[in-house]
Amino acid sequence: MSRRNWINLFSTNQSIELSSDLERGYEAALLIQSLELEYYGDRLIRPDLKLSVPRAVQATILRRFKTALAICRNSAANLSDQRGQLDSQELRQLQLIESVVSRYGSRRSSVSPTISRSPDALPRSLLGVFDRIRLQLDPSTEDNVVAGYRRRRDSTLISLRVLLLLILVPLLVQQIAGTYLISPAVNHFSPELPFLSYPKPKLEERATEKLRLYKQELEFDAFLNGGQPLDDLQLRDKLTEKATELKHDADEESLKAIKNVFADFAGLIAFAVVCLVSREELRVLRGFIDEAVYGLSDSAKAFAIILFTDIFVGYHSPEGWRVLLDGVAEHFGLPSSESFVDLFIATFPVILATIFKYWIFRYLNRVSPSSVATLKGMNGGG
């Protein structure tokens, strides 16, 4: 391997480690804020304060808090000298980590019964101005900016590559396995294995309806042409021929449904294998998606949220869910049960809407409160 390849590999590994530190610290900071909000009334966590929960639960809360705080401190220490390599979204995440660390002071003060914090000698805004001037005059700032650009470029390439793998590999496995392996095997073993050609009520009903329409077409053509209507023997022969053709089509559709089941299962296995092999790349992809989503403006975030909710849980969503369920049932050759469809439409969108509102309240309201305010304004204050 050439020296340049070694440098690129080292840069990529360093970028992944930096992203992992930031992600772990950010999640730990969010956990601490969640514990503060849920158990301490949005105040500092104090080990000497008795909560209205069992002692074992409080011990678990404090243990989670200490572990999360240690992760925040470690992340802040590792990332403090690499600010120039972070983009705007990552800087906001780092600022949240540093705010949590600063609230709980030094390592000794965090384990003491009372947690105190001394006031800053100068306002933070003024200190931030001095810090930006210092960074601009630092000779290594340009190198840090270039390194940050390379890290973001590597993260983007890794994210796009794993995203394409997650989409293309299952599709290719599904199509290739279904065409060259599953389809010939099902065609070969279907006469010997009854479960491969079990009757499908939906297909039989469709074939019966087609036969009834064919009989009406024969009678209509006879009256339209002014000829003699078919006698019973002629009508029976034509209906028998048509019924044989419809049965053949129904058997083919039944086998096609079985092939779809096996092909989709092969694609699902391929998707799981890609996820297992690309776990580190998936973490980079998650950071890339977070950066893309939270890098949007408040109006764009609110627009995307409203669009998503209106499609899946809005007033007109039942029609879409009904079409989707009917398509899935037809794909697998299953009967479309109206009672099941109605029950699904009456429950699943409600559950999905509840989960989405809870996510807005517990997560989005904390990391991007301005987006929530914009969302409420676009919804008419709802």
> pLDDT tens-digit profile of 342-373?
898 889 888 988 888 888 877 777 666 667 77
Nearest of 78, 61, 62 to residue 26 by alpha carbon: 78
For the chain, what is the mean pLDDT?
76
pLDDT at 172 over 80: yes
Reported confidence tier of residue 271, pLDDT bands at 50, 70, 90: very high
Residue 368 CB neighbours (<10 A) = 19
For residues 20-49, give the mean pLDDT: 78
Nearest of 357, 126, 169 to residue 278 by alpha carbon: 169
Q: Cα separations (Å) of 232 from 237, 343, 378?
A: 9, 46, 69
Reported confidence tier of residue 128, pLDDT bands at 50, 70, 90: low
Reported confidence tier of residue 248, pLDDT bands at 50, 70, 90: confident
What gap in Å lies between CA 182 and CA 169, rounded to an integer?
17
Residue 140, φ and ψ in degrees, nearest 5: -90, 5
pLDDT at 303 over 60: yes
- Burial of 174 by CB count in 10 Å (0-12 exposed, 13-18 middle, 19+ buried)? buried
pLDDT value, residue 197:
60
pLDDT at 31 over 50: yes
Query: According to the per-residue pLDDT averaged within each range, which of 72-81, 178-187, 355-364, 367-376 is highest?
Result: 178-187
pLDDT at 55 over 70: yes
pLDDT value, residue 376:
76
pLDDT at 161 over 60: yes
CA 332 to chain centre: 24
Reported confidence tier of residue 9, pLDDT bands at 50, 70, 90: very low
Q: Cα separations (Å) of 186 from 136, 198, 252, 263, 353?
A: 68, 13, 11, 11, 41
Nearest of 177, 142, 23 to residue 93 by alpha carbon: 23
What gap in Å lies between CA 198 and CA 176, rounded to an integer?
25
What is the domain partition of the chain in residue ranges?
3-138, 152-280, 296-382
Query: According to the per-residue pLDDT averaged within each range, which of 14-18, 145-149, 320-324 is highest?
Result: 320-324
pLDDT at 305 over 80: yes
Q: Is-contact 24 75, C-beta < 8 A?
A: yes
What gap in Å lies between CA 356 and CA 334, rounded to an integer?
31
What own/partner pairs with CB < 8 Å and gap ≥ 24 does 103-110 have?
Answer: 103/44, 104/44, 104/45, 104/69, 107/73, 110/66, 110/69
What does pTM read for this prediction?
0.59
Q: Cα separations (Å) of 147 from 7, 151, 374?
A: 12, 6, 35
Reported confidence tier of residue 200, pLDDT bands at 50, 70, 90: low
Q: Is-contact 200 250, C-beta < 8 A?
A: yes
Q: Which residue type, as a one-letter code, is found at position 71?
A: I
Nearest of 293, 287, 311 to residue 151 by alpha carbon: 287
The tokens describing 156, both together, are 């983007």
pLDDT value, residue 309:
84
